[in-house]
Structure 1
Amino acid sequence: MSLVERDGDLAAIHEVLAAAVAGRGMTVLVEGPPGIGKTAVLAAASEYAMGLGVRVLTSIGGELEQDLPFAIVRQLLEPPLRAASSARSAELLAGAAGLAAPVFGQHDDTSAAGVAQGDVVYGLYWLCANLAESEPLLLVVDDVQWADGASLRFLSHLARRIADLPVLLLLAGRPGRVLDGLVGSALGGVAPRVVRLRRLSDEAVGVLVRRDLSAEADDEFCHACAVATGGNPFLLAEALTNLRTNGTRPVAAEAHRVEHLRAAAISRAVLARVARLGPDAVGFARALAVLGTAAQPRHVAALAGLSVEAAATAADRLARESIVTTKHPVSFVHPLVRTAVYGDSSSLLHAADHKRAARVLAADDADAEQLAPHLLAAEPESDPWVVDRLEAAAFSALGRGAPESAAAYLTRARVEPPPLARRGPLAAMLGRVLAMAARTIEAADVLREAVALTAPLVDRIQLVLELGFLLTQTGRAPEAVQAAELARGLIAGHQGELSVAMYAAVAGLDLITMQPPEGVIERLDAVVARPIGTSDADRLLLSTLAFGAAGTGGRSANEVAALAERAATGPVPMNEGWMLVNYASAALTIADRLPEALELLDRGLDATSRLGDVWDFRYVSMLRSHTAWYAGRLIEAEGDARAALEEVPGEPRRRNAPLAAAMLVDVLVERGRLDEARQVLEDYEISGHKPTDTVIMHFIPMARGRLRLRCNEPAAALVDLLDVGRFLVDAGYVNPGFAEWRTDAVRAHVALGDPGAAVELAHENLELARVFGAPRSIARALRTLAMIESGKPGLDRLAEAVELLTDSPAELERAHCLIFYGVALRHAGQRILALDPLRRGLDLATRCGAEALAESARQELRAAGARPRRDAVRGREALTISELRVARLAAGGATNRDIAQTLFLTPRTVEAHLTNAYRKLEVKGRQQLSRAIAEPPP
């Protein structure tokens, strides 16, 4: 049936398609009730696109396929991969696109757990980008309200980044709660172009009645058809078929017959037409309705109890009645027809039919994923075979990177229920899968059940640890503490029997939940006393020990550094890499091994980029920001903090966002941009955070206290800083290098006119710093004490600090000490001697990007009678943070595509940053970048 009254709808689609061909991708949602003509509109748009040289890839959602992993994605993208030569397929899956290979079964089954944790949708995005390089793409998804959860993740990811690709994403769905939920979650914040299909007018209905029933149909009869079908094209077509079959004359006198042909009556008419074709046709139609759109004729025949020949005959008869299509594989002509046939049975009969369908498919060696939708619909019967198949389907779904589907299969397997011996392992697997699917509250509940159902000691400890870490990630620290206590209780008395990895995990959970670090260190020392090698588990344990020792300050900086360097030697582990990088880099930073810490963090970022794990990338970026801040590399620190905070509209804000915001506040304060820092506090709602029960969260009130101090709010600043101090000291974290709250609290005491408290705290700070022995911490403590000591004692403190940092990589602290020393010398009447430290401090502050400190140095130089150098307004200093990050990678030989994949940007964004960088640096290409962005010599 040709389209009527759809010219405006198609014109709207053609408009955005033209934009997509020009490289400005977009998402269009065609919305309308069942039968309104969405599929016909999509077909017409696809035909038009092919005429423009656009490659069209199509898919359709199905009620039965909603729990098949990446069902929509595989319909869309598997055909071009399958049709490509091996060389072309390798090109399409090159780089980050290779992360998508598991979706199409191109992976090692033994690595399923690792695949499930990777960001597969990131790889799918790049696969689309690779496909679109040679020709524009039209991706069509019909009946999107039935899309599976894993495919929705991809559609959401693509829709948020599609503007930079020559791709049109054309979706069609039925209005209502399901589609509203899709638009609200998957497309939230995207604002797709919506095309709402309207009912046909009376005039259009008249055109179709006269075309498809009788040219002599009169107006009253046509109006009755419009009223009866509500202007719905499918219902109208079915009504006309029924009228034609019954020999109804299209005249006014027969109009009353039409009024009875409403939707319910048309559904009954479809069933009547099927019944008239005989029992074989009825059986075939019912079997097809159960098996769904992907049914093979032999499976339909087997389920219907027909021979292949009888099934072919039945299919032919149904096709002649426009019940099923003539294409292979056979399907119903419209979902409403399938609904009518499927709805003609009871729910109990449906359940039995689906169980039989699963058996039919299994007898034909179908994989477990094909069986799973039917087993989900079957009645629980305590059947171990069902549990086996659902568990196998879950493993397969994980291998494709679809924990949503795996969770559905395992949840149903537990309802079967499984034999007693398998209930613990199934609960454990489901808990882990729910965590992968970001359903953390459910995951914690199920993991608790798994602990109760698990007897073997090692397995039980492992589950308790996983539960504990999950609870910390969801902000339930008190419960995580309980899990840590349970884990320690289970381990007690089994020293030497458990793996190094398990001891490392228990210690890591203890440290995160603020258990006394001395006890953690004592337990780890007992393990380290045994031979420790270079395995990932050994290195993780060493990094945990280094972190704990750095926090307490009970071992020297050199000892801590030695442990952390051993941990950092070797590749970043695939699974627990974030934890090793976190602990070892923090220990190296506190021990003043700043270049080594940054190098480890850079390797961590590389690892997350290779895996396509955007969330771990942002977490490690946050850690790197803190270390770069320590080192005084403020431009890098700001870039890393902003990378950690980078959000896509509509995506949920992660729990680590406040931490990254605190890092950014610290950097902005040091750069003198106090208004921006205040805005970050407000935007990320961290103005009221208190120290919590997890070790890293003290960064938030610390940063807020520093900002308040710089904004001349010393009383509020002191409250924040002393809160942090009590929290950390009570927990055993006393090393000044771990958290520098004392130095800022001293300044707050001074500002409030309490020199006694300031002196006491400053001496305590210096004493603790000398015990640990990290030059940066000692120099900072000396500088702080010099603030409240006048005359020669203060000058001597500053001279010692400057000497300590002569060759230190902590350039910002060195700049502070030099400038403070110069100021003290000038105030002591030694103007000539003050000039050298002030000039050197100004140069360092400028290199670091510490604008406020640099400006204070300039003022002091002017007061001393010198002329400070002018700021550069072009060149490297003129670049934005993002431009500098992109330029550095480009200078190192990375292509735009490489840079985009490394930094989780779109190629067009990279291109824009590079264009701006070339203009500001006054260079013409990559070959000149290295020299143009090189840091000035010290």
Structure 2
Amino acid sequence: MITTQTTAAQPARLSGRDAELAAVAALSERVRSGRSGVLLVTGEPGLGRTALLDRAAAGFGAGTVLHTRAAPAERHLAHSGLHALLGGAPDPAPPAGQAAVVRAPGAASSPVRAAASPAGPAAAAESPAGPAAAAASPAVPPPPVAPLDVPPADVLRTGLPPTGLLELLRRTGARGPLLVCVDDAHLWDPASRAALGFAARRADAVPSVGLLLSVAAHRAADPDFTGLPVLRLAPLAEHAMAALLDDLTGAAEPLVREELLYAAEGNPALLTALVDRLSAAQLAGRAPLPRPLADGPVLTRVVGGRLAELPAATRDLLLLVAAAHEQHPDGPGADAALVLRAARAAGLDPAALDAAEAAGVARSDDNRVRIDDPLMRRAVRLGAPLSRRRAAHTLLAAVLDGDRHRLAHLSHRALAADGPDTRLADRLASAAAAPDVRARPLQRSLAFARSAELTATAGARAARLTAAAEYARLAGRPRRARELLAAAREGAAAHDALRGGVELVCGTLALRDGPVGDAHEALLLAAALLRHRDPEGARGARFGAMEAAWAAGDVPSCVAALGPDLPPAALGPDLPPAALGPDLPPAAPSSGDDDFRTGMLAALSGRFGEARGPLGRVLDRAGSDDDPVRLLRAGVAALVLGDIATACRVNARALAAARARDLASLVPQALEHLAYAELRSGRHARARAHAEEGLRAAHHAGQRNVAAHHHATLALVASIEGDAAALTAHTDAALAIAGPHGLAQAAALAEWARARADLGRGLALDAAARLGPLVRPGHRRGHFAVRMLMVPCFVEAAVLAGEGGDGTATAVEEFALWADLGADPQAPAQLARCRALLAPPAEAEAFYTYALARHERAGGDVERARTLLLYGKWLRRRRRPREARGRLKDALYAFERAGAAVWAEQARAELRATGAAAARETPGPLASLTPQQLRIARCVAEGATNREVAQRLSISPRTVDHHLRNAFALLGVRSRVELARLVSREEEPNSVGPAT
């Protein structure tokens, strides 16, 4: 379409595509500056390839734009792609400063959301933006068209050799910058693709020409596009999808909003299509939503373009693949042999699958066949009539061995059933619960859910839905678990055992993702309801309630959860045993649970001597255990006993066991416990690696509470490594979850990380102010499990800030009592360090010497280095520089080995103050300063006042002023601002805080 309109509408923002827009902007800038470049944009349908190219074409104001979208109907017409790109009726040249855009017949020049491709519905559906991308790219009327010296008729009649397009681009680019945008280039005819790829690979040979191409994800590796730089579009993050939803709806009702974001799976086109489907009443929550929200027609509209062009036999085969894949939605794919046996039974030629592979819809690897895109898989399944879906499951059930593959066989039979079938439902539920059946938790959940659909009795149906919810939770599908629980509640209302089961799953879900106070109450209710009819379930509920109270920092509630038996709940009518039986997940053996309960109860009550025996037996059993839940409890026991090495080993074993059983809900928690144990052992790099992996796993499993603890761990690591940006990001993220969810432990760890970072930067007064409320008595007292761990930091900060009064001494004495319990191998050395800080000069050195000796026994390089640093500072201030240098160099090298950059810089600054050369000398003009002048300059560059500098360096404000005036004269600066700029420029990127 060609228009003479001279103004262009400003495109709407592309939510969540900042990095991609930056890459496109960089390409445009290269072209504007007279250079050339190429970028290949790829991604699955609906992720915004078309919208990104539209934005690039509309925003290029430096010269000519050639912009076209491939027409699938013309893919077999030789050179049709080149004709579409180059064939436009020339109009007069545009006004000065206005981009010239040539839009071929296939190019989008009207709202993509409302317009169909000129090649028909298939082309519109194949487009990445689909027919619903107006939210990302509104109507952009193109500027006028510049005349080109290109005879399109000759191109069609005689063809164009590969070098010909390059020469045409060279001639056009010689008149000014040229941007070529080709959307869906993989749909061009072979000759045009070859010419385009040839020109793109040699774009550097022509000046002022940029090529921005888009192709489907499965075609990015085609020979025609080999060697081109690739920009891959991924599904949008949740915050970006939320911003797009706001653009589309203004403000949808919160529950509706949550449903839409979940159903869209990060696909902006699907989200737009879902919004289009709903009425104003449905968006406002006044009318029920359709189920399923993303049904067959909606999915086909967004991703079904490739399906529409496939032969009928191929689509039938794909339906078999999708049906087989339904049993393992997260698995490696469908069993190829099973699919092919079912295909032959239906009279389908297995070769029909080749067309699906060629179209990028399916792929085969070894003995598996897979539809990679989950939206495409859903479109194949839900786009087929119900009768065809049932027929596919019937075929698969018929060719499966019912003895060897009992659960899969019964599941396919159940999915093919057209109404309640009590006998089939019972058999399927029995197979789903059988321990000898090898199946993943999600497969068991699907089987229980389907057996519930075939069950006529309300109580049995509720039991099976509850079991399905529990396995969905274990599989890391909390949203699915909550949906199943909502369906189970109605039938469970009259039966205590069923109500208890529902509350147990509900409370466990809230423990990982919700206010822990709510989780605590739900789990206590579950324990009371299950007390008589499911003792093992009641025991697990009480352990969960204890964990919730622990997270909240509530010691009395922890003790109450583990203490005397809870009063029984009001009993409802008995449920017939046949309704339960194998339908509930098998309870774990209780061996060792009594020891864990007894030992934790003693420890929480302050009787550590009594706790050692039973908790020691828990650790003994962990050596031969492979149950991840019991291993996680053993890891807790090891930390309580102060056996950090065993805690690391046991938690690593729990992680391996959770992975081996595919328990996605336990993997984030196992990584959390392991990272924390490694942090306690001083292995910060390992702690960071496991916490980063755990954070990803927690987000994937929908466990915000676990994510908060991982953020807190990463913040503590950042406080040692000196990464200020990471520290801020992780503390903010941890506290944003910890506050509303009542996670006192995560909040305390995050605040400790901030204080430790302050201490590393020399801000002792700030560190003391942060830690004081967390370690001193009062209503803001920190979490009981980490409060004593913070005392050494608090004492150091308070003394260096000149506030080491009675409150600090009291904290040290309390820490001494705790150190005697043996709950932390570092505590004796840290206690000696604290006493050295508070001791008179005549006694301090003995305490430092004793602290270093205890560090040798306990390990922990960072804590030993911190003691060396403080000892070195003390020696320097006693005018013993030679002895100080040895301690400070040892501290420096230990900090460097541990990656503790901010602390290493403290050691360097102290070394310079002794007159020694540090490992990293100060460069440039700053080298002319004395060590004291340099330290003062660094403090001033951080924004400190003279009084604050004096407090940090233990000198008078008048001395600071004297040194600062001399530094100004030596450096030739006249203000504190100029000094800060000079220090920042000379020491970037390693500018960190001064020594204290």
With normalisation by structure 1, the TM-score equals 0.51
1:18 lines up with 2:68 in the alignment: no
1:606 aligned partner = 656
Aligned residue among 695, 700, 711 for 2:750: 700
2:509 aligned partner = 470
Shift of 1:824: 1.8
Shift of 1:555: 1.2
Q: 1:524 to 1:716 in 2, by over 3 A?
A: same
1:621 lines up with 2:671 in the alignment: yes
CA contact (8 A) 1:826 1:864 kept: yes
Query: Which residue type is aligned with residue 827 of structure 1?
Result: R
2:848 aligned partner = 798
Q: How does 1:61-80 map to 2 (within 5 A)?
A: 61=319, 65=323, 68-70=326-328, 76-79=334-337
Shift of 1:847: 3.3
CA contact (8 A) 2:503 2:522 kept: yes
Q: How does 1:620-699 map to 2 (within 5 A)?
A: 620-646=670-696, 654-681=704-731, 684=733, 686=735, 689-690=738-739, 693-694=742-743, 696-698=745-747, 699=749
Shift of 1:661: 1.9
2:272 aligned partner = none
Q: Deviations over 1:441-464 (max 9, x none)?
A: 3355467667644446xx876665
Aligned residue among 459, 465, 478 for 1:438: 478
Q: 1:864 to 1:768 in 2, by over 3 A?
A: same
Query: Which residue type is aligned with residue 627 of structure 1?
Result: A
2:891 aligned partner = 841
Shift of 1:827: 2.2
Q: Deviations over 1:579-638 (max 9, x none)?
A: 3354134335xx1x3332222233334334444556644443333332222222222223
For 1:858 and 1:431, the matched residues in 2 are separated by 57
Q: 1:814 to 1:565 in 2, by over 3 A?
A: farther
1:768 lines up with 2:817 in the alignment: yes
Q: 1:759 to 1:718 in 2, by over 3 A?
A: closer
Percent of matched pairs sharing the same residue:
19
CA contact (8 A) 1:407 1:433 kept: yes
CA contact (8 A) 1:391 1:409 kept: yes
1:219 aligned partner = none
Q: 1:297 to 1:686 in 2, by over 3 A?
A: closer
CA contact (8 A) 1:468 1:479 kept: yes
CA contact (8 A) 1:747 1:758 kept: no
Shift of 1:801: 2.3
Aligned residue among 561, 570, 574 for 2:627: 574
Q: 1:545 to 1:742 in 2, by over 3 A?
A: farther
Q: How does 1:503-902 map to 2 (within 5 A)?
A: 503=539, 506-514=542-550, 517=555, 537-539=590-592, 541-543=594-596, 554-555=607-608, 559=612, 563=616, 566-567=619-620, 569-577=622-630, 579-580=632-633, 582-588=635-641, 591=642, 593-611=643-661, 616-646=666-696, 654-681=704-731, 684=733, 686=735, 689-690=738-739, 693-694=742-743, 696-698=745-747, 699-708=749-758, 710=760, 721=771, 724=774, 734=784, 740-746=789-795, 749=798, 754-756=803-805, 758-773=807-822, 774-864=824-914
1:292 aligned partner = 391
For 2:777 and 2:807, the matched residues in 1 are separated by 19
CA contact (8 A) 2:520 2:548 kept: no
CA contact (8 A) 1:427 1:446 kept: yes
CA contact (8 A) 1:743 1:784 kept: yes
Q: 1:372 to 1:688 in 2, by over 3 A?
A: closer
CA contact (8 A) 1:705 1:718 kept: yes
Shift of 1:65: 4.7
With normalisation by structure 2, the TM-score equals 0.49
CA contact (8 A) 2:619 2:634 kept: no
Q: 1:725 to 1:596 in 2, by over 3 A?
A: same
Shift of 1:670: 1.0
Q: How many correspondences in the alignment?
A: 605
Q: 1:830 to 1:837 in 2, by over 3 A?
A: same
The DSSP-based 3-state class of the residue aligned with 1:640 is helix
For 2:334 and 2:718, the matched residues in 1 are separated by 46
Q: 1:692 to 1:568 in 2, by over 3 A?
A: farther
For 1:44 and 1:82, the matched residues in 2 are separated by 16
For 1:442 and 1:34, the matched residues in 2 are separated by 26
The DSSP-based 3-state class of the residue aligned with 2:543 is helix
**Structure possessing the higher relative contact order (Cα contacts under 8 Å, 6 or more residues apart):** 1
Shift of 1:666: 0.9
For 2:397 and 2:438, the matched residues in 1 are separated by 27
For 1:719 and 1:633, the matched residues in 2 are separated by 28
For 1:298 and 1:744, the matched residues in 2 are separated by 65
2:414 aligned partner = 372
Shift of 1:477: 1.7
Query: Which residue type is aligned with residue 811 of structure 1?
Result: D
Q: 1:471 to 1:658 in 2, by over 3 A?
A: closer
1:909 aligned partner = none
The DSSP-based 3-state class of the residue aligned with 1:475 is coil
Q: 1:405 to 1:814 in 2, by over 3 A?
A: closer
Q: 1:714 to 1:417 in 2, by over 3 A?
A: farther
For 2:367 and 2:220, the matched residues in 1 are separated by 11
1:5 lines up with 2:104 in the alignment: no
Query: Which residue type is aligned with residue 563 of structure 1?
Result: G
CA contact (8 A) 1:403 1:433 kept: yes
For 1:847 and 1:557, the matched residues in 2 are separated by 40
CA contact (8 A) 1:619 1:644 kept: yes
Query: Which residue type is aligned with residue 566 of structure 1?
Result: L
Which ranges in structure 2 are unaligned for 5 or more consecutive residues? 1-71, 77-185, 191-214, 235-266, 270-298, 342-352, 401-406, 566-587, 922-996
The DSSP-based 3-state class of the residue aligned with 2:608 is coil
Q: How does 1:175-324 map to 2 (within 5 A)?
A: 291-293=390-392
Q: Deviations over 1:549-571 (max 9, x none)?
A: 66665415993896277356423
CA contact (8 A) 1:501 1:538 kept: no
CA contact (8 A) 1:484 1:506 kept: yes
Q: 1:626 to 1:829 in 2, by over 3 A?
A: same
Q: 1:573 to 1:398 in 2, by over 3 A?
A: closer
| Bigger helix fraction | 1
Which ranges in structure 1 are unaligned for 5 or more consecutive residues? 47-56, 84-135, 145-154, 184-285, 300-327, 330-364, 528-534, 872-938
Query: Which residue type is aligned with residue 515 of structure 2?
Result: R
For 2:520 and 2:543, the matched residues in 1 are separated by 12
Q: Deviations over 1:83-141 (max 9, x none)?
A: 9xxxxxxxxxxxxxxxxxxxxxxxxxxxxxxxxxxxxxxxxxxxxxxxxxxxx999749
Q: Deviations over 1:371-402 (max 9, x none)?
A: 32344x53x6xx64464366468669996757
Query: Which residue type is aligned with residue 468 of structure 1?
Result: G
The DSSP-based 3-state class of the residue aligned with 2:623 is coil
CA contact (8 A) 1:448 1:467 kept: no
1:482 aligned partner = 521
Shift of 1:746: 4.2
CA contact (8 A) 1:721 1:741 kept: yes
